[in-house]
Amino acid sequence: MEIKRLNIIITLGFVAIIGILITQLLWTRQAYNLENQKFNQKVNIALLEVVEKLSGGKTSFAENPVQNISNDYYVVNINNEFHPAVLEHYLKTEFTRFQINTNYVYALYNCHSDKMMYGKFISKNQEPPNYKVIQFPKHKNLVYYFSIRFPDKTTYLISSLRFWYVLTFALIIILLVYVYSIYTIIQQKKFSELQRDFINNMTHEFKTPLSSILLASEALTKQDQIKGNQKLQTYTSIITDQSHKLNNHIEKILNIAKNDASGLSLKPQRIVLFPFIQEIVDNVKHKNENLSIEINIDDSISIIADEFHFSNIIYNILDNSIKYCETDPIISISSFKDSKGLYLKFKDNGIGIPAKNIPHIFDKFYRINTKKSDEVNGFGLGLFYVKKIVQQHNWKISVENNSDKGITITLFLPF
């Protein structure tokens, strides 16, 4: 059901972005056409003004003297003789007045022979003329007309619509990012499902032979030959203890795989902190004779948490402090409050953590490559589980190295 819903959401999002992009492209095209019409209108009006001035206010055309031959080419008929210097002056004046700021080429033609008599390229960045005399062939029986061409018209129109094109480009980038994100999500989902299936199959395959080993070891401990031989009894207890430890690891992997699939189900309740932690510490001390744990927590402090998972958090933190210590473990558990919430600190005298590895210690299956880590059994799931439970409670957890030795893990419980 979730996969089907995800596919529907992906499809709808993709269709929506494609629709927006197509709409944007149509709007951009329409805006370009409108800008083109606006440009043609301004050019026509400006050239009509030029004709009016060149003819001295006496225009006698039966039709519009300005003809738009092609997209960027205009021809203007004149009934009067004129000098190119005068034409150039009027063109610059009118184009400036109508804000036509682009390069153009004008040319003068003989009406009888259609031969070009004079031409010049005018750049929008051209410096003011020095008013030198322009040589132009003149004859009293010749009538002249001129043409205007805008070679950079398309570029000019596009530059005036830069906002539309930037917006379209941004939408294309968003579409590409969306497609890439969806592709990454699908790949991650496939990888997650594959990893979860592998973990489930692997752990279940381990459970069957491990159960047989536990049954066999328990049966061995009841044999008279084992009870009467101290060395065999030691070996049998090692098998049993290590089998139970391996079984606990497998159960932890199964629980994490299950939680990844369906999420954690918390049952929050009020817990008085000191007696709760004291009970856990007593249980841990029974298994570690050389362990020293000091608790500095006010008796009146209580929190709202899931009892089972919170106890697992403390067990995991204490277990790591014991395992990663090269001397007799000394652990200090303390708490203090401020205006934001409660801070619960676990300080040990272990080997510490390299600074570069601290950001990754809560990652799944992550283990620091040290000599001590090679000696300690584990899958790198303890702190990952701790971080997951902390996040489910909306708490925060941080780790820092002590100035002398070991690390301090801080749990922050906001009010």
- Mapped onto helix, strand or coil, the DSSP state of residue 76 is strand
Which of 98-102, 178-182, 250-254 tops mean pLDDT? 98-102
* Three-state secondary structure call for residue 351: coil
Under the banding of pLDDT at 50, 70 and 90, the label for residue 395 is: very high
Average pLDDT, the chain: 79
**pLDDT exceeds 80 at position 113:** no
Domain 268-414 has CATH 3.30.565.10: yes
Do 283 and 311 contact (CB within 8 A), yes or no?
A: no
Which pLDDT does position 230 carry in this prediction? 80
**In the predicted model, what is the mean pLDDT of residues 45-49?**
87
Cα end-to-end distance, the chain, whole Å: 37
At position 375, the amino acid (one-letter code) is E
Residue at token pair 């055309």: 61
Other CB atoms within a 10 A radius of the CB of residue 6 amount to 14
pLDDT, tens only, 168-219: 788 788 878 877 887 787 787 777 777 777 766 766 677 777 777 878 887 8
Calculate ∠ Cα 55-60-64, nearest 5°.
95
H/E stretch holding 400 reads: strand 396-401
What is the per-residue pLDDT for 130? 46
Q: What tokens were used for 394?
A: 């909306």
pLDDT at residue 138 greater than cutoff 80? no
Query: What DSSP character marks residue 363?
Result: S
What percent of the chain has a predicted confidence (pLDDT) above 90? 5
Neighbouring CB atoms inside 10 A of 107's CB total 17
In DSSP terms, 121 is beta-bridged to: 105
Residue pLDDT, tens place only, 308-352: 888 888 888 888 888 888 888 889 999 888 888 899 999 988 888
Domain limits of the chain? 2-160, 163-262, 268-414
d(CA 27, CA 128): 39
Which positions ≥6 away from 150 have C-beta within 8 Å? 43, 72, 102, 103, 104, 156
Going by the DSSP 8-state scheme, the letter that residue 124 receives in this structure is T
The confidence score (pLDDT) of residue 211 equals: 77
Alpha carbons within 13 angstroms on the beta-carbon side of residue 364 total 10
Q: Tell me the C-alpha distance between 348 and 330, whole Å.
A: 6
- Say if residue 354's pLDDT is above 80: yes
Q: What is the pTM of this model?
A: 0.47
> Where residue 365 falls among pLDDT bands split at 50, 70, 90?
confident
What percent of the chain shows pLDDT beyond 70? Answer: 84
pLDDT the model gives residue 258 = 61
Distance CA(210)–CA(208), nearest Å, equals 5
Q: Measure the CA–CA gap between 113 and 281, rounded to whole angstroms.
A: 111
The H or E element that residue 192 is part of is helix 162-221
Query: Residue 1: pLDDT above 50?
Result: no
Across 138-263, where does the E strand assignment appear?
A: 144-149
Local confidence band at 411 (pLDDT 50, 70, 90 cut-offs)? very high
Q: Which pLDDT belongs to residue 345? A: 92
pLDDT of residue 137: 58
